[in-house]
A and B are shown apart, each in its own frame.
Chain A
Amino acid sequence: MDDEPIELIIDGIQVSAVHDATILEVAKQYGIYIPTLCDLEGLTSFSGCRLCLVEIRGSPKLYPACTTPVTSGMEIITNSEKLKEYRKICLSLLLSERTHVCSVCIANNNCELQDLSNKLGVDHVSFERNWTKHTIDSGHDFLVIDRNRCILCTRCIRVCQEIEGAHTLDLKNRGKDSQITIDFDALWGDSCSCTACRKCAKVCPTGAIYIEDELISKTKDKNVVSFLLKRRMYK
Chain B
Amino acid sequence: MNEQIIIKPISRIEGHANIIINLNEDDSVIDARFQVTDFRGFEKISEGRPYYEMPRITSRVCGICHVSHLLASSKACDQIIGVRPPTTAIKLRRLIHIGQFIQSHALNLFYLSFPDLLFGMDSNPAERNFFGLIKQHPDIAKYGIKLRKFGQEIIQILAGKRIHSSDWVLPGGVKAPPEKEKISYLLLEADKALEITQRTLMVFKDWLQNLEEEITFFGNFPSYYMGLVTSKGELEHYDGKIRIIDSKGKIVADQLDPNNYTAFLGEATETWSYMKFPYYKQAGYPKGIYRVGPLARLNIICHCGTPLADRELEGFKSFGKNGVVQSTFLYHLARLIELLFCIEKAQILLADPDIYSEYVRAKAAVNYKEGIGVIEAPRGTLIHHYNVDKEGILKSTNMIIASEHNNLAYNRAITQVAKKYVIKKQLTEGMLNRVEAVIRAFDPCLSCATHALGKMALDIRLINFRGKLIDRVIRGEKGCFKCNSEPELLVLNYGDPT
Listed in ascending order, the chain A residues whose CB lies under 8 Å from chain B are 103-104, 106, 133, 135-136, 138-139, 144, 212-213, 215
Contacts and interface: CB of A to CB of B under 8 A. Distances in A.
Given A136-B48, A215-B167, A106 B391 contact: no
B57 A133 contact: no
A135 B393 contact: yes
Nearest to A207: B53
B60 interface: yes
A-B pairs with lowest CB-CB distance, top 4:
A104-B57, A138-B391, A104-B56, A139-B391
B280 interface: no
B278 interface: no
Contacts of B391: 136, 138-139
A106 B53 contact: yes
Contact of B392 (A103, A133, A138, A215): A138
Contact of A213 (B52, B164, B166): B52
Contacts of B57: 104
Given A104-B60, A213-B363, A215-B167, A135 B48 contact: yes
Given A133-B48, A135-B393, A136-B48, A103 B60 contact: yes
Contacts of A135: 48, 393
B50 interface: yes
Contacts of A103: 60, 164
Nearest to A109: B167
Contacts of B49: 136
Nearest to B171: A213
Interface in B41-85: 48-50, 52-53, 56-57, 60
B151 to A, nearest CB: 22
A103 B57 CA distance: 8
Given A138-B391, A215-B167, A104 B53 contact: yes
A139 B167 CA distance: 23
A169 B52 CA distance: 25
9 contacts: A104-B53, A104-B56, A104-B57, A104-B166, A135-B393, A136-B48, A144-B50, A212-B52, A213-B52
B168 to A, nearest CB: 11
A136 B50 CA distance: 8
A133 B46 CA distance: 11
Chain B CB count within 10 A is highest, among A104, A133, A144, A212, for: A104
Contacts of B392: 138
Given A103-B164, A136-B49, 13 more contacts: A104-B57, A104-B60, A135-B48, A136-B48, A136-B50, A138-B50, A138-B391, A138-B392, A138-B393, A139-B391, A212-B52, A213-B52, A213-B363
A212 B171 CA distance: 12
A136 B391 CA distance: 9
Nearest to A142: B365
A18 to B, nearest CB: 45
Nearest to B175: A215
Contacts of B164: 103
Contacts of A106: 53, 56
A181 B391 CA distance: 18
A135 B48 CA distance: 7
Contacts of A139: 391
A21 B164 CA distance: 46
A215 B167 CA distance: 9
A135 B52 CA distance: 15
Interface string B375-405: 0000000000000000111000000000000
A92 to B, nearest CB: 22
A232 B183 CA distance: 49
A224 to B, nearest CB: 23
Contacts of A133: 48
Nearest to A189: B391
Contacts of A215: 167
Contacts of A213: 52, 363
Interface in B7-62: 48-50, 52-53, 56-57, 60
Nearest to B47: A133
Contacts of A144: 50
A104 B55 CA distance: 9
Contacts of A212: 50, 52
Contacts of B50: 136, 138, 144, 212
A133 B391 CA distance: 17
B84 to A, nearest CB: 18
B167 A136 contact: no
Nearest to A146: B50
A215 B166 CA distance: 12
A80 to B, nearest CB: 38
B86 to A, nearest CB: 16
Interface in B324-366: 363
Contacts of B56: 104, 106
Interface in B135-194: 164, 166-167
A26 to B, nearest CB: 40
A101 to B, nearest CB: 9
A144 B393 CA distance: 11
Nearest to B51: A138
Contacts of B166: 104
A5 B393 CA distance: 57
A218 B266 CA distance: 45
Nearest to B361: A213
A50 to B, nearest CB: 30
A104 B56 CA distance: 6
A229 B448 CA distance: 51
Contacts of B53: 104, 106
A227 B441 CA distance: 61
A139 B365 CA distance: 11
Contacts of B167: 215
Nearest to A217: B167
A139 B393 CA distance: 10
B387 to A, nearest CB: 16
A103 B48 CA distance: 17
A106 B363 CA distance: 18
Contacts of B363: 213
A136 B393 contact: yes
A106 B392 CA distance: 16
